[in-house]
């Protein structure tokens, strides 16, 4: 018999669609997804590929307002939506929305287990405010089980006293087959790009480590910069000062592409020689999943939640400390000078990516739901 699983999550994220499609295809889960909003236009530039959605879903009426660093999102109709969906299990993607607390209250009233999907880590810079931490602790203490994308989030949950047997792993995933296939097929070098380059993909804001990246690139030996460029895919408040800085780096070949949709990123990944992810704070970092699926060596900081699971220092990438420009420059230069290392790491990245497929993530979500149902008898 199928388990009726209702997932409550913020937005229709393109990278989640393959996961939810895979979950809906399973014979043991009857899936319905409640989205609190279609997207967040203040942060996301992506197009929502609704034609690719093959699962039952609805989008609640919402009001959104950004107050400084805080994102206020208020919804109507959640209680009615849950009542009509009649879930056996509720999986809630986070605890920072009013709707999350409404879902928790509804689940308790109706004696329906609630699983919390947690991606936070101990190094996430969004944490640390006393009031928020108290609310978080209360929500975690009221949840019946937990889903995490990887090791860093699991370790974080354990600091709240969560028992290991209540934590289920659903590895964060992108459409690995799509990225791997496209990276092989699209080796057509764009004349606007450097012949060889490091790639950065993400928002151009200080917390992503973009200023460290430019400082590190400038530190690399001139003969390496003559051969290796830097391609920056993304937009953000730091773009103009970075463009001003780029003009002063000589020798050097730096290209700003702006925001790129998933299909447009394929050419960039396909021709890159390594992805550099110099973040100061990232709960995960799905661009690393994309790059690994494309067979790229990775240079990433240990602040990224994905690193503990996706990047093995010296095996398929090089791991540096967040904010350490000298380490970052050294790692980039080592990769640039050593093609044998890059080739070896490329193959190992492809190997690692197989464990981070939409099907693997869906299997973890299904296991959590079925385990809670079995616990109820």
| pLDDT digit string, tens, across residues 9-29 | 999 999 999 999 999 999 999
Angle (CA) 285 67 49, round 5°: 45
Please check whether residues 48 and 146 belong to one and the same domain. yes
Mapped onto helix, strand or coil, the DSSP state of residue 320 is strand
Tell me the residue range of the domain where 319 lies: 176-353
Scan for tokens 């503990």, then name that residue: 308
- Mean per-residue pLDDT for 34-38? 94
Question: What is the b/e burial string over 282-296, where b = at least 16 CB atoms within 10 angstroms of the residue's CB?
Answer: bbbbbbbbbbbbbbb
Helix, strand, coil percentages for the chain (3-state, nearest 5): 45, 20, 40
Please check whether residues 196 and 285 belong to one and the same domain. yes
User: 298-301 and 274-277 as β-strands: parallel, antiparallel, unpaired?
Assistant: parallel
Please check whether residues 334 and 208 belong to one and the same domain. yes
Q: Which tokens go with 216?
A: 């590190």
Sequence-ordered strand ranges (E) for 173-261: 197-201, 229-233, 254-256
How many helices, marked H, and strands, marked E, lie in the chain?
Answer: 15, 15
Select from 96, 67, 72 the least CA-distant residue to 8: 96
Scan for tokens 């990944």, then name that residue: 269
Select from 132, 136, 256 the least CA-distant residue to 201: 256
327 pLDDT above the threshold of 90: yes
Scan for tokens 């090089």, then name that residue: 318
Q: What's the alpha-carbon Rg for the chain, to the nearest Å? A: 21
Please check whether residues 341 and 195 belong to one and the same domain. yes
Please check whether residues 140 and 205 belong to one and the same domain. no
CB 310 within 8 A of CB 286: no
Please check whether residues 102 and 15 belong to one and the same domain. yes
- Mean per-residue pLDDT for 346-353? 96
Residues 6+ apart with CB under 8 A from 153: 118, 119, 120, 121, 283, 305
How much of the chain, in percent, has pLDDT values that exceed 70? 93
Which of 45-49, 68-72, 225-229 shows the highest mean pLDDT? 225-229
The confidence band for 367, taking pLDDT boundaries of 50, 70 and 90, is very high
Please check whether residues 117 and 38 belong to one and the same domain. yes
Please check whether residues 336 and 371 belong to one and the same domain. no
Please check whether residues 33 and 87 belong to one and the same domain. yes
Question: Residue 149: which CATH number?
Answer: 3.40.50.2000
Please check whether residues 216 and 334 belong to one and the same domain. yes
- Mean per-residue pLDDT for 60-73? 77
- Mean per-residue pLDDT for 204-217? 97
Report which DSSP code applies to 304.
B
First CA to last CA distance, the chain: 14
Residues 6+ apart with CB under 8 A from 19: 173, 358, 361, 362, 365
332 pLDDT above the threshold of 90: yes
Task: Quote the mean pLDDT of the chain.
Answer: 92
Please check whether residues 187 and 324 belong to one and the same domain. yes
Mapped onto helix, strand or coil, the DSSP state of residue 274 is strand
How much of the chain, in percent, has pLDDT values that exceed 90? 77
- In total, how many domains does the chain have? 2
Q: What is the pTM of this model?
A: 0.91
Please check whether residues 119 and 165 belong to one and the same domain. yes
Specify the pLDDT at position 123. 78
């Amino acid at each position: 018999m199928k388990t009726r699983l209702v997932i409550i999550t913020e937005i229709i994220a393109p990278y989640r669609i393959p996961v939810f499609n895979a979950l809906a295809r399973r014979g043991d889960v009857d899936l319905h997804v409640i989205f609190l909003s279609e997207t967040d236009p203040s942060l996301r530039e992506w197009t929502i590929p609704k034609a690719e959605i093959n699962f039952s879903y609805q989008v609640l009426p919402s009001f959104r307002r950004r107050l400084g660093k805080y994102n206020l999102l208020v919804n109507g109709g959640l209680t009615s939506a849950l009542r009509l969906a009649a879930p056996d299990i509720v999986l809630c993607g986070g605890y920072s929305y009013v709707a999350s607390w409404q879902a928790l209250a509804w689940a308790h009233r109706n004696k329906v287990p609630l699983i919390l999907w947690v991606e936070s880590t101990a190094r996430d810079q969004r944490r640390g405010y006393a009031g928020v931490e108290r609310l978080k602790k209360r929500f975690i203490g009221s949840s019946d089980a937990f889903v995490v994308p990887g090791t860093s989030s699991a370790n974080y949950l354990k600091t709240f006293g969560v028992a290991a047997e209540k934590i289920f792993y659903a590895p964060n995933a992108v459409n690995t087959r799509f990225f791997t296939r496209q990276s092989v097929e699209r080796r057509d070098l764009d004349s606007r790009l450097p012949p060889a380059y490091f790639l950065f993909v993400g928002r151009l804001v200080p917390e992503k480590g973009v200023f460290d990246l430019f400082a590190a690139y400038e530190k690399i030996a001139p003969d390496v910069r003559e051969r290796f460029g830097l391609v920056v895919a993304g937009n953000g408040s730091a773009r103009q000062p970075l463009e001003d800085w780029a003009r002063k780096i000589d020798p050097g070949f730096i290209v700003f592409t702006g925001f790129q949709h998933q299909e447009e990123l394929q050419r960039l990944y396909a021709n890159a020689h390594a992805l550099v992810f110099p973040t100061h704070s990232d709960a995960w970092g799905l661009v690393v999943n994309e790059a690994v699926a494309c067979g790229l060596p990775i240079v990433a900081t240990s602040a990224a939640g994905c690193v503990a699971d996706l990047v093995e220092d010296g095996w398929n990438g090089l791991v540096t400390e967040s904010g350490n420009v000298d380490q970052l420059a050294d790692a980039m230069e080592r990769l640039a000078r050593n093609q044998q290392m890059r080739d070896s790491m490329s193959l190992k990245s492809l190997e690692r990516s197989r464990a981070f497929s939409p099907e693997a993530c869906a299997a973890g979500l299904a296991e959590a739901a079925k385990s809670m149902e079995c616990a109820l008898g």
